[in-house]
Structure 1
Amino acid sequence: MQDTSGPSVKAAIIGASGYTGAELLRLLLSHPFIEVTIITSRQYENQPLTSVFPYFLNSKYQHLVFQSLNLEKIASVDLVFCCLPHKTSFPIIKDLLTTNPTLKIVDFSADFRFKNPAIYEQTYNVQHTAKELFEKSTYGLPEIYRNEIKNSTLIANPGCYPTSVILALYPAKKHNLIDEKFPVIADSKSGVTGAGRKATVDFTFCEINETFKAYAVEGHRHAPEIEEKLNLKVRFTPHLVPMNRGILSTVYFKTNATKDELIQTYEETYRNEPFVRIRKNPPTTSDVKGTNFCDIYITKDEKTGLGIAISAIDNIGKGASGQAIQNANLLFNFPETTGLEQFSWWI
C-alpha cells in the first residue's frame, strides 16, 4: 500500500462545473490522499471556483480557478477525472494517454463502457476514433470488477441507471436464479440532476414540478450497457421525478428460488461490500442521498413467481462521483472507503 501520510496523488477534473464535477470536488474535500490541482470549464474559464460555487469558500479548494483545457498540463498530474458528456471524452482521453501513457483516468462518459466499440457507435450514433483504448479500459463497477480495476489505467465509470439495475440483478444472475425464458423488467426513476447542468426548457421548474413522466420508452441508451454487463435481456424504462437527486429502480424477474433463498443469495453476495446494504424493508432515495451507498431490498411475489429487487442510489453519488472516487481508491491502492464515509443527508 502507498504511503498514506498525506496527499500523494495530484488530480485534475475536466468539466468541473457540471453537477458530477462539482459533487466530485465536494467529496474530495475529505479525501486525505488525493489533491485536486487543476479544474477546467469551458463556460467558466478564468473564473474562481468560489464565484461559481460559493459553498467552497473557506475550503481547501477555495483558491482554484477554472482553466482552459491544456492537455499537456493536465497530462502531468497522476489522476484525471473526465466529467465530459458522451462523444466528447474519447478524443481528449486518447490525446492524454498519448502524451502520458501511465496517466490514470476515470471517465464519466459512456465512451469506453462497452466491450465492443460497434455497440457504442450504434448506441450513440458516432464514429469512435480511439477504438484501440477499449482493450485497456475497465468497467468501473467495483462490486463486480474490483480486481480488474486495480490493474487498469482507464476506468469507464458506469452510468447511474446501469449501476442501480446491475447491482439489483447481479446476485440473481450470478447464481442462475433468473428464468431467462421470461422478460426481465427494470422500472427506474431518477432525479433531475441525471440530465446534467444545462439550460433546457424540458428541465425548467414549471416543466418538471408537480409532474412525473416516462421517457425514451422506445429505447434508452443505457439499456445496451445493462444488457452487456449482465449478459441478460432487460426491458428498461426510465422516468423523471421532480427531485434533485436519487434513483429508485424496481426490477422484476421470473425465478424458481424461494424468497428466503433470494435473501440469502443477496446477503452472501454482498456481505463484504462496503457500499451495498441489503435492507429488511424497501429503501428510499433519502436513505442514500449524498452517499456512495446502494441499498437493495429483495423479495418474491409467490402469486406470480416474480423476484422483486428494489435498489436506491444517489445518481451523482454511487451513480457518478462517489463511484469515481471508489474506483480511484482502487487504482492507487488506497482503502476503498477513503473519502466516502458520508451517511445520508436524509432531509
Structure 2
Amino acid sequence: MQGTSGQSVKVAVVGASGYTGAELLRLLLHHPFAEVVYITSRQFEGKKLTEVFPHFLKSKYENLVFEEYNPDRFSDIDVAFLCLPHGASFPIVKELYYRNPNLKIVDFSADFRFKSPENYERTYRVEHTAKDLFLDSAYGLPEINRSEIPKKRIVANPGCYPTSIILGLYPARIKGLIDTSFPVIADSKSGVTGAGRKANLNLLFCEVNESFKAYSVEGHRHAPEVKEKLELPLFRFTPHLVPMNRGILSTIYFKTDAEREELQEIYKEVYKNEYFVRVRSTPPKTSDVSGTNFCDIYVTKDESNELAVVVSVIDNIGKGASGQAVQNMNLLIGAPENTGLTLFSNWI
C-alpha cells in the first residue's frame, strides 16, 4: 500500500451489492490509486457485477464477479470496506483484523462508532464480541476527527443523519454558542436509498410516492451518536422519508445569544479550509450535492425566538456513506482527502 507515489492500493468491498456498495464502486472508478480486486455478495454470488449493475459496462470493473466472503482472500488486501448492517460487521472486522495485521478497515455499520461498546450495546441492543478493537478504531468524520483517523486500523464511517447534523452544529458547539440548557432539535428528511436495497412493503413505489412521513418518532438510533460526538445533554431528532432517491436535508434549531452575522462568520471561519463543507449564503437543496461528497450548510437566526436555524444537506450515500468512506481511505493511505472525489452534482 502507498500514499501518493502511484502504486495501487488493493481494495476489497464486502457487501458490494447494496446501494452504498454500488456507489462506492462508482466513486472508486475515479480514484487514481484504488484497485478493486475482490467484491462479495451473498445474494448475487457468482454473478458478474455488470449483470446486477449494468451501468458498470465498459468500466474497468466490468469483469468483476461477486464472490462469497472468504477471509483467506484478504492476505494481500490493503483496504477493506465493509458495507454491512450493524451486528454483521464486528465479527468480520475481528476476523480480518487479526488475520492481516497490515489491513485497514472502513466499516459502514454502527458497530464501532461509539466511544465504548457499552454505549453501542445500549443503543443497538446487540452484544458486541469485539470490544477490544474499540481501542484501535476512530470515528470517521474527518472534519472533526482528522488527526485520529490515520492512527487507527479501523475507521467507523458515521451514520448519514449524524453526518449532516454534526457538521451543521459543530462550529457553534466548539465556539460555545449553543445554550445547552435548551434542547437542540434536528428535523431531517432522507431519500429512500437510506433504507437500503431490499424488498420491503413500506418501500414499494406506491407506498412511498406522493407521500411524506416521519418514522422512529419515539427515538432513532442515530440520536445517541449525535449526542455523544457533540456532548449534547438535550437533543431531539426526528427523521422523515421523502419520495426521492438520494439526499438528506436537516433543519436544526438551537438556542443562542449569538447574532446572525456572528454565526455566519464563525461558520465560514471554522470551515474555510474544509474542501467538502460549503457554507452557503442561501439555503441549499439536496440536488446541489447529489452524487458528491459535499455538505452544504446555511445558518441564520430567528431573532424573535432567539433560535439559530441551520440547514445542512448531503447525499446520504455520498458524504453520508460511500463518499465519506473514500475520504477516510485517503487519510489512511496518506493521499489528499479529495483524491477521487472532485465530483460535482448533476443538479437536475
- Correspondence list, 1:170-181, <5 A: 170-181=170-181
Cα separation, 1, equivalents of 2:193 and 2:344: 20
Q: 1:24 aligns to what?
A: 24
Q: 1:319 aligns to what?
A: 320
Label 1:37 to 1:235 Cα distance change in 2 as closer, same or farther (>3 A).
Answer: same
What is the one-letter code of the residue matched to 1:184? Answer: V
Deviations 1:222-265 (A, max 9, x none): 00001000000310000000000000000000000000110011
Cα separation, 2, equivalents of 1:279 and 1:323: 20
Deviations 1:53-90 (A, max 9, x none): 01101000001000000012124300000001111000
Residue pair 1:16, 1:41 contacting (<8 A) in 2 also: yes
Q: 1:141 aligns to what?
A: 141
What is the one-letter code of the residue matched to 1:191? Answer: G
Identity %: 67
Cα separation, 2, equivalents of 1:3 and 1:13: 20
Deviations 1:273-318 (A, max 9, x none): 0000000000000000000000000000110000011100000000
Residues 1:56 and 2:56 are matched in the alignment:
yes
Residue pair 1:137, 1:154 contacting (<8 A) in 2 also: yes
Residue pair 1:7, 1:32 contacting (<8 A) in 2 also: no
Structure 1 runs (4+) deviating above 6 angstroms are none
Residue pair 1:223, 1:235 contacting (<8 A) in 2 also: yes
Residue pair 1:75, 1:96 contacting (<8 A) in 2 also: no
Stretches of structure 1 lacking an aligned partner (at least 5 in a row): none
1:98 CA drift (Å): 1.2
What is the one-letter code of the residue matched to 1:277? Answer: R
Q: Secondary structure at the match of 2:186?
A: strand
Q: Secondary structure at the match of 1:331?
A: helix
Residue pair 2:13, 2:81 contacting (<8 A) in 1 also: yes
Q: Secondary structure at the match of 2:12?
A: strand
- Correspondence list, 1:103-142, <5 A: 103-142=103-142
Cα separation, 2, equivalents of 1:273 and 1:178: 22
Cα separation, 2, equivalents of 1:74 and 1:124: 28
What is the one-letter code of the residue matched to 2:164? Answer: S
What is the one-letter code of the residue matched to 2:18? Answer: G
Residue pair 1:90, 1:130 contacting (<8 A) in 2 also: yes
Residue pair 2:4, 2:334 contacting (<8 A) in 1 also: no
TM-score normalised to structure 2 length: 0.98
TM-score normalised to structure 1 length: 0.99
RMSD across aligned C-alpha pairs, in angstroms? 1.0
Residues 1:345 and 2:333 are matched in the alignment:
no
Q: 2:151 aligns to what?
A: 151
Cα separation, 2, equivalents of 1:334 and 1:4: 6
Residue pair 1:56, 1:62 contacting (<8 A) in 2 also: yes
What is the one-letter code of the residue matched to 2:195? Answer: A
